[in-house]
Amino acid sequence: MAKYNPEIVRLICQHIEQGETNEHAAELAGISKQTFYDWLNTKVDFSDAVKKAKEEYQKWLHNDILADAERSLKVLINGTEYEEIKTEYEQNPNNPDAPRIKKQSRTTKKILPNPTAVIFALCNRDPEHWKNRVEQDINGKIETESKQTLSLANVSDELLGKVIDAINNK
């Protein structure tokens, strides 16, 4: 069994703060899974340190990742511009190892909004107005051979499906 010490606790907690599982953090620190859980159950300071490391990871997950994702989604929805620089070089007669710039051009490029990101944002932010599904309401009447007109309004979807399949020879 590995010797319990502050350095190994710090190492395990560092890995947990970076999102590693308990088992993988233990493995990376050079201790067995069993030793990790023995320490977790018998050493209050270790248990507290692991708990704090998990809280730090959750804090990062909820704050930084969500903020990054929201910024990225905003760029995908709005589009963006960036400057592209193209450089042509030529041989430098004074120093062959250091070519000199022959020509340089700058172009502003546009990245258009991403339609999938726009749909995602609308469907998730305002689902009442932007549903990502299709609803069909089919009403109809059937005239029988005896010239009777029947309404389909009260026929179940399952039965209508069977009728349609029969009509399509399925």
Residue 1 within any structural domain of the chain: no
Residue 125 within any structural domain of the chain: no
Residue 118 within any structural domain of the chain: no
Range of the domain at 10: 6-72
Overall number of domains in the chain: 3
Tell me the β-bridge partners of 100.
90
Residue 84 within any structural domain of the chain: yes
User: What does pTM read for this prediction?
Assistant: 0.43
Q: Give 59-95 as a DSSP string.
A: HHIIIIIHHHHHHHHHHHHH-EEEEEEEEEEE--SS-
Residue 12 has pLDDT above 80, yes or no: yes
Residue 128 within any structural domain of the chain: no
> Is there a single domain that holds both residue 68 and residue 92?
no
pLDDT in tens, 21-78: 999 999 999 999 999 999 999 999 999 999 999 999 998 888 877 788 888 889 999 9
Residue 98 within any structural domain of the chain: yes
